[in-house]
Amino acid sequence: MKKTIPTIIITIVIAVLAFLGREDLAKLFEEEAKKPTITITDTAKPDKPKDNPDKPKPVKGKATRDPHLTLGNPSKAKANPTSLNNFLVECPQYALAFDNTTGNPKWVAWHLSKAWKGEAKRQDFRTDSRLPKTFRMVSKSDYTASGFDRGHLCPSDDRDGSIADNEATFFMTNIIPQAPKCNQRVWKGLEDYSRDLAFDGKEMYIIAGAYGVGGTGSNGGLSKTIAKGKVTVPAKVWKVIVVLPNGENDLTRVDANTRIIAVDMPNNQVVADKDKEWWDYLTTVDEIEKNTGLDLLSNLPIPLQKKLEARSDKGENNANKISMEKQYGSYPVKYDLSAD
């Protein structure tokens, strides 16, 4: 940056230099005094340029609660009593499609961010009165002594912001017969990891479900149904997680670099053998769609869908098989709910 020095100051400097016997410098300044001003270069740090008003400003990542079907309705389910095998249930906590033939949800979709977290106490399982009266009503007791856990798809710990939020996860339409070692170990590991991401400034759109017939619970042997045929035991359980930094206009922020975590694991008691973790069951969205007949991420542009759905996650911890305990500490994690 350039600055100017008034002529009167130059004159004073010449006089001082002459008094000190520095006629050479005095002569130099005398020549400059003939000019209106003299310019010198300021070596100070230049002023910070002003912000360009036309340049878009980044959105501060604040955790929010967003619509669960932002990325699409995987089976085009409708809340129509005639849709026996594809009945849509939407509530503030999640959306799901219930299959009256199997007594299980075809899929459950929910949004996860820190905004959903709190300290509400865990509630209890209950029959879902939101279903049409002609539908089969699965109850808590239908699972008693079956050898299978009442496995949440949308987890209780993802919805502890209020008692109402937590209660919604205990409707039996959000539950599947899940092998205990699948539910309590490998499946839980991914649930815990997802919540870690939420407390690390991420928000997620999650879809989970099950398919096939026949799983192995703690009673041993292959079980195709429980509750005298009322509820089908699935062979596989799957989950897809779309990970974004907290922000706004989420659908438009999904791009070719967006992280997609997709897993597909057996519903049995050996799923966690040999210290296997959730990342040992990584797959692609394409593979899950092939096995389930669902159309996941259907609200995204087709070219983008093709890129994302063909890619298996290469997260920083997956390739190196770093254990969850070493990387993230013991569970359950104690979260700091006071921080933004």
CATH, residue 314: 3.40.570.10
Strands 175-178 and 202-211: unpaired
Predicted local confidence at residue 54, as pLDDT: 43
Predicted local confidence at residue 225, as pLDDT: 98
Average pLDDT value for the chain: 86
Considering the domain boundaries, does residue 66 fall inside one?
Answer: no
Predicted local confidence at residue 314, as pLDDT: 82
Residues 16 and 137 in one domain: no
Considering the domain boundaries, does residue 265 fall inside one?
Answer: yes
Residues 17 and 120 in one domain: no
Considering the domain boundaries, does residue 339 fall inside one?
Answer: no
Which token pair is 105? 């949800």
Active site residues: 152
Residues 135 and 14 in one domain: no
Residues 27 and 132 in one domain: no
Which token pair is 204? 């997620």
Strands 202-211 and 104-112: antiparallel
Strands 231-232 and 225-226: antiparallel
Query: Which residues, including other chains, have CB under 8 Å from residue 19's CB and lie 6 or more apart?
Result: none
CA dihedral 14, 19, 24, 25 (to 10 degrees): -40
Considering the domain boundaries, does residue 167 fall inside one?
Answer: yes
Which helix (DSSP H) or strand (DSSP E) does residue 239 occupy?
Answer: strand 236-245
Residues 13 and 109 in one domain: no
Residues 179 and 315 in one domain: yes
Domain containing 37: what range? 2-41
Residues 302 and 161 in one domain: yes
Considering the domain boundaries, does residue 338 fall inside one?
Answer: no
Residues 9 and 150 in one domain: no
Considering the domain boundaries, does residue 61 fall inside one?
Answer: no
Predicted local confidence at residue 217, as pLDDT: 98
Which token pair is 206? 């999650």
Cα 39 from Cα 5, distance rounded (Å): 7
Q: What are the tens digits of pLDDT across the range 11-60?
A: 676 676 666 666 666 666 566 556 554 444 444 444 444 444 443 343 45
Residues 121 and 264 in one domain: yes
Residues 33 and 181 in one domain: no
Which token pair is 89? 């249930």
Number of compact structural domains in the chain: 2
Considering the domain boundaries, does residue 74 fall inside one?
Answer: no
Cα 184 from Cα 65, distance rounded (Å): 27
Q: Which of 210, 200, 9 is nearest to 113 (CA)?
A: 200
Measuring CA to CA, how many Å separate 146 from each of 154, 173, 237, 249?
Answer: 22, 18, 18, 44
Query: Which residues, including other chains, have CB under 8 Å from residue 79's CB and lie 6 or more apart?
Result: 87, 88, 89, 90
Predicted local confidence at residue 61, as pLDDT: 76
Residues 16 and 114 in one domain: no
Which token pair is 190? 């991914």
Residues 237 and 127 in one domain: yes
Spans of the chain, pLDDT less than 50: 1-3, 37-59, 318-340
Considering the domain boundaries, does residue 208 fall inside one?
Answer: yes
Predicted local confidence at residue 135, as pLDDT: 97
Predicted local confidence at residue 110, as pLDDT: 98
Residue 48 CA neighbour count, 13 Å, CB half: 3
Predicted local confidence at residue 79, as pLDDT: 98
